[in-house]
Structure 1
Amino acid sequence: MTVRRGLRLVTGGLALVFLLSMMLVNTGSAFAAKKVTIGVSIRSLSEERWAREKVLMEEKAKKLGADIIFTDANNDEFVQNSQIENLIARGVDVLIIIARNSDVAANGVEMAAKEGIPCIAYDVAIYHPHAIYVSFDSVRVGYEMAKAVVERVPKGRYFWIGGSPTDDNAYLVRKGHFQVLQPLIDRGDIQLLGEQWCDAWSPEEALKHVENALTAHGNRIDAIICSNDGTAGGAVQALKEQGLAGKVPTCGQDADLVACQRIAEGTQTVTIFKDVRILASTAIEAAMELAQGKRPSKINGKYVNEKKGIEQDAIFVDVVPVTKDNLYEVIVKGGFHKLEDVYRNIPKDQWPKG
Structure 2
Amino acid sequence: MKNTKILLGIMLLATTVLATACGPAPAATTADATKVKLTPDDKPYVGFVLDTLKEERWYKDKALFEKAIQDQGGHVKTLAANGLDDVQVKQAELLIQEGVDVLVVVPHDAEKSAAIVEKAHAAGVKVLSYDRLIKNADVDYYVSFDNEKVGVMQAQEIVKRQPTGNYAYIGGAETDNNAVLFRQGAMSVLKPLIDKGNIRLVYDKYTEGWDPATAEKNMASALQQNGNKINAVVAANDGTAGGVINALQAAGVSGVPVSGQDAELAGVQRVAKGTQAMTIYKPITAIAKQAADMALQIAKGTAIQTTSKVNNGKIDVPAILLEPTAVTKDNIRDTVVKDDYLKEADIYGAK
Range into which the TM-score falls when normalised by the shorter chain: 0.7 to 0.9
Partner of 2:309: 302
Q: What SS does structure 2 have at the residue aligned with 1:139?
A: helix
Partner of 1:243: 252
1:102-113 to 2 correspondences below 5 Å? 102-113=110-121
Instruction: Decide whether the 8 Å contact of 1:274 with 1:319 is kept in 2.
Output: yes
Partner of 1:39: 47
Structure 1 residue ranges without an equivalent (≥5) = 1-32, 349-354
TM-score normalized by the length of structure 2: 0.86
1:86 corresponds to 2:94? yes
CA distance in 2, matches of 1:35, 1:116: 17
Instruction: Decide whether the 8 Å contact of 1:113 with 1:130 is kept in 2.
Output: no
Give the structure with the larger helix fraction: 1
Partner of 1:126: 134
CA distance in 1, matches of 2:315, 2:177: 12
Tell me which amino acid in the other structure corresponds to 2:269: Q
Partner of 1:338: 343
Deviation at 1:235, TM superposition (A): 0.4
Of 168, 185, 195, the match for 2:177? 168
Partner of 1:67: 75
Larger Cα-atom Rg: 1
Q: What SS does structure 1 have at the residue aligned with 2:142?
A: strand
Tell me which amino acid in the other structure corresponds to 1:149: I
Partner of 1:10: none
Tell me which amino acid in the other structure corresponds to 1:304: N
Deviation at 1:336, TM superposition (A): 1.0
Partner of 2:267: 259
Tell me which amino acid in the other structure corresponds to 2:201: L
CA distance in 2, matches of 1:194, 1:295: 46
TM-score normalized by the length of structure 1: 0.86
Deviation at 1:124, TM superposition (A): 0.6
CA distance in 1, matches of 2:293, 2:138: 21
1:1-354 to 2 correspondences below 5 Å? 34-127=42-135, 128-245=137-254, 247-297=255-305, 299-305=306-312, 308-344=313-349, 348=351
Tell me which amino acid in the other structure corresponds to 1:89: Q
Partner of 1:8: none
CA distance in 1, matches of 2:47, 2:235: 32
Q: What SS does structure 2 have at the residue aligned with 1:253?
A: coil
Using the aligned pairs only, state the percent identity.
Answer: 39
Tell me which amino acid in the other structure corresponds to 2:120: A
Q: What SS does structure 1 have at the residue aligned with 2:49?
A: strand
Let me know the Cα RMSD of the aligned residues.
1.5
Deviations 1:101-122 (A, max 9, x none): 1111111011101111111100
Structure 2 residue ranges without an equivalent (≥5) = 1-40
Instruction: Decide whether the 8 Å contact of 1:232 with 1:251 is kept in 2.
Output: yes
211-220 or 319-328: bigger deviation: 211-220
CA distance in 1, matches of 2:57, 2:292: 17
Q: What SS does structure 1 have at the residue aligned with 2:247?
A: helix
Tell me which amino acid in the other structure corresponds to 2:334: E
